[in-house]
Amino acid sequence: MSVKTSLMPYLAQCLSSDTSLNCKRYLFEFKRKLLRQPHSLKVFIKIDDPYSYILLQALAHFIPRYGSSMPLNIVFYPLISVPDNAFPEPVLWKKNAVSDCQYLAKLYYFDSVNSGIEHHQSDKVVATKALLACGSTAADIHHLVRIFADFWQDENRPQRKKTLQFSPQEKTSLSRNSVLIQKLGHYQTGTIHYAGEWYWGVDRLAYLEQRLISLYKLPLQPIFTKTRLKLDATSTLKQAEIPNYDQHNKRLTLYFSIRSPYSHLGLEQAVLLANKYQIPLTIKPVLPMVMRGLAVPNAKKMYIFHDTKREACRLNIDYGKVADPLGLGVERCYALFEYAEAQGKGTEYLLNYSRAVNSQGLHSDTDKGLKIIVERSGLDWPHAQSLLKLSSWRQWAQHNLDEMMQLGLWGVPSFSYQSNILAGSIQHGGKQQDSSQQLSVWGQDRLARIEQFIQSQRL
């Protein structure tokens, strides 16, 4: 192992530390005050991105709530495209995004997106032209929302036979906006940049709220927190405490990658959720995207790293001293998973492995590091060593990936909750019938939706 590789966990720990974050925030705020500038929020939007539509509706509430207490300058930057490698499965991503934004709209009582509308390139160009022509300040928020509403809800707009072209001025504006988002270090729209940090969609708006509330010591609490799962190690419910609920014939499945920081958070939370409702948890590992030949932009890697850290802090999960297991570390992890499963310790093994490479800086590509993980999991190290050359895991890892994609999901962590209920009210020829219900979601942010679904079944 090179000196550079051995030092990487300590560098990651330093970059993700509270000290580093607080220093960076202090410098940004000191500069703002010195130059007597307002708080500047840069909002990047794209007309066919449903998350941009949801974010704009959230900002329509956000702006008057905080703009009256502080000098708040918000500028909107429309884009027409994002890098091709930002989304490995764009068709599946778009389908899930529409469904997910329908969930968010219902949760926050926003206007929803219409999944039945077919958007042509001409519609995107016309609507983007309207965004560029609209004012780009906070005062124009309702006009911007109206343009998005027409695009996502108007089923009766006329079909255009010819695609319009952007004017030279419009092309210049779009190019400038695209350069700016890349320069600032992001890769997708529906995002806000403020003082060196990024806030994606309504899911991260509460962090921005908390930051502004702390700066001005406002007597407020963040309001955009409805997608947050609130669990702790003691939140196990007894069956008697859950009226009309039977935990039998229920299953929670986690599609997981040992290299994914969000999978680390998802695994920790899924274990707590399964324990709370006494639901069996099945973990199905898949290969990381990079090991499947898919490129991940550097901006995406850095955003995920810092975003995982703040989510981990909120969830009281250790993260930051990262020893990337890419390559041999992943292969060794999966080679021993069947052995751990056969011993009834599969979940414990992956928890120990995930904590080791995400928060403890253990290099799992070395025998020294792997032995610690194996023995912490109550497994036999000499026997584990004899299994490290196995490659049969590649077959089930591919099967898990195929299964996940058949659910309409493409990335990790993804979750699928299935409930087979023997419903006495469903009668066919005098016989009771099994009623199967399933909810599949992408991202650790949507475990709250899984819990809401579980709770709805016991009412």
Per-residue pLDDT of the chain in tens (459 residues, 90 and over written 9): 776 678 999 999 999 999 999 999 999 999 999 999 999 999 999 999 999 999 999 999 999 999 999 999 999 999 999 988 888 889 999 999 999 999 999 999 999 999 888 888 999 999 999 999 998 788 899 999 999 999 998 766 666 667 789 999 999 999 999 999 999 999 999 999 999 999 999 999 999 999 999 999 999 999 999 999 877 666 655 544 554 455 568 999 999 999 999 999 999 999 999 999 999 999 999 999 999 988 888 999 999 999 999 999 999 999 999 999 999 999 999 999 999 999 999 999 999 999 999 999 999 999 999 999 999 999 999 999 999 999 999 999 999 999 999 999 999 999 999 997 544 444 444 444 455 789 999 999 999 999 999 988 865
Identify whether residues 101 and 246 lie together within a single domain. Answer: no
**pLDDT reported for residue 426:** 41
Identify whether residues 321 and 389 lie together within a single domain. Answer: yes
Task: Report how many domains make up the chain.
Answer: 2
Q: Is residue 24 part of a domain?
A: no
Q: Is residue 427 part of a domain?
A: no
Identify whether residues 255 and 192 lie together within a single domain. Answer: no
**pLDDT reported for residue 428:** 44
Identify whether residues 303 and 446 lie together within a single domain. Answer: yes
**pLDDT reported for residue 425:** 41
Identify whether residues 247 and 207 lie together within a single domain. Answer: no
Identify whether residues 120 and 211 lie together within a single domain. Answer: yes
Identify whether residues 380 and 276 lie together within a single domain. Answer: yes
Q: Is residue 291 part of a domain?
A: yes
What is the bridge-based pairing of β-strands 191-194 and 39-46?
antiparallel
Identify whether residues 263 and 385 lie together within a single domain. Answer: yes
Strand order of the β-sheet with 197-200 is 72-79, 39-46, 191-194, 197-200
Identify whether residues 167 and 256 lie together within a single domain. Answer: no
Q: Is residue 14 part of a domain?
A: no
Q: Is residue 9 part of a domain?
A: no
**pLDDT reported for residue 186:** 96
Identify whether residues 270 and 394 lie together within a single domain. Answer: yes
Q: 37-71 burial, b if ≥16 CB within 10 A, otherwise e? A: eebebbbbbbbbbbbbbbbbbbbeebbeebbeeee
| pTM score, whole prediction | 0.93
Q: Is residue 27 part of a domain?
A: no
CATH number for position 355: 3.40.30.10
User: How far is it, in rounded angstroms, from Cα 322 to Cα 336?
Assistant: 21
Q: Which residues form the domain of 381?
A: 239-422+433-457
How many other CB atoms sit within 10 Å of the CB of residue 114? 15
Identify whether residues 406 and 278 lie together within a single domain. Answer: yes
Q: Is residue 85 part of a domain?
A: yes
Q: Is residue 88 part of a domain?
A: yes
Identify whether residues 301 and 337 lie together within a single domain. Answer: yes
β-partners of residue 72 are 39
**pLDDT reported for residue 158:** 65
Burial class (CB in 10 A: 0-12, 13-18, 19+), 22: exposed
**pLDDT reported for residue 154:** 77
